[in-house]
Amino acid sequence: MLPAGHADATISQQTVKLFNGGRLRVDSTQNSIRKIVVQGNITAARMSNNTIPAKSFSLSSSTTQFYTVYLWLSLPGSYVATISLDDPSGKNSSSLPSFYLSGGDLNLTIFASFEPSPTGQQGGSIGWNSFSEWMTQFSGAFPWWVKILYLALGLQFGLIGYRWIRFEDERRRIEKHLPPLDRGNKAYLWTDILFRALLTGFVLCIVVMIGEAIIVLVAQNLFFVTLSFVSLLDFFSLFFVAIIALLIYIGREAMDRFLDLKPLMED
């Protein structure tokens, strides 16, 4: 990566680690930065908009990324170049050993790794990028068929539930034999619909997983055929849905027993 005519340049490679949201800075006492090349996920990076030649350059990313930064510094006179690392809050900074050149060229190669902050350490401000990255990583823990199943069930139960609640409320207002549904009653009914959707999905997941296991066992033991199916077994999704469904069930019972939000229904 050395430009032509710079064979006698001073060459240095540095490896640095920063937390997501931190910033890598390269500062010079003179306008000695002649060329900048950054290799990596550029769309996830924030770089200073420098006019070459420049006295400084900075690179930051709020997501987990790895960058290779090439900087060429050149000046006939003396100058000092410094590499600094800022934490996500911007309050603390650390510097690597500086470079003093009485004149000439300096070729810097910096391998910068942006990593998540360790648990319990205060990071930078939480923005949409961090939330989006967390949601992407969390959704990746669920198999594709589980996501499709719950999406379909959510749409189905949501549409049917909306129509049923609307119909029931209008029927009560017209016939007047039962009080119309207030906001508390509707909140209870939506909680009940959500619980039933999760319970249905949980049962279907168990049926699919057990069904696949039975098919594979029967094929191997009775027909001596080895089936190469994509494994549908996933205990994490079962456990997660079971916990969420249990919490929603407890909330629904609390709304009924303590808040009396369950609407009166015909026998």
131 shares its domain with 81:
yes
Q: What is the mean pLDDT of residues 108-131?
A: 68
- When divided into structural domains, the chain yields a total of 2
Question: Which of residues 80, 101, 135 is at a domain's end?
Answer: 135
Each residue's pLDDT tens digit, 61-95: 888 889 999 999 998 889 999 998 988 877 778 88
Q: Model confidence over 134-149: pLDDT tens digits? A: 676 677 778 888 999 9
125 and 14 in a common domain: yes
**Secondary structure percentages of the chain, helix, strand, coil, to 5:** 40, 25, 35
- Whole-number pLDDT of residue 132: 67
Q: So what's the pLDDT on residue 129?
A: 58
**Averaged confidence pLDDT in the chain:** 85
Query: 175-194 pLDDT, tens per residue?
Result: 888 888 899 999 999 999 99
HSE (side-chain half, CA atoms, 13 Å) at 180? 10
pTM (2 decimals)?
0.51
Choose the final residue of a domain: 107, 135, 163. 135
Domain membership of residue 2 (yes or no) is no
pLDDT band at 123; cut points 50, 70, 90? very low
Residue 267 lies in a domain: no
Q: What tokens does 81 get?
A: 């170049």
Coil, strand, or helix at residue 252?
Answer: helix
**Which one of 100, 135, 170 terminates a domain?**
135
* Predicted local distance difference test score (pLDDT) of residue 223: 80
Q: What is the pLDDT of residue 195?
A: 96
Do 85 and 125 share a domain, yes or no? yes
Q: What local confidence, expressed as pLDDT, does residue 122 receive?
A: 47
Of 34, 25, 27, 13, the closest CA to residue 76 belongs to 34
pLDDT attached to residue 131: 64
* Residue at 263 is within a domain: no
CB 66 within 8 A of CB 40: yes
DSSP secondary structure letter of residue 54? B
14 and 33 in a common domain: yes
Residues 152 and 119 in one domain: no
Domain of 62?
Answer: 10-135
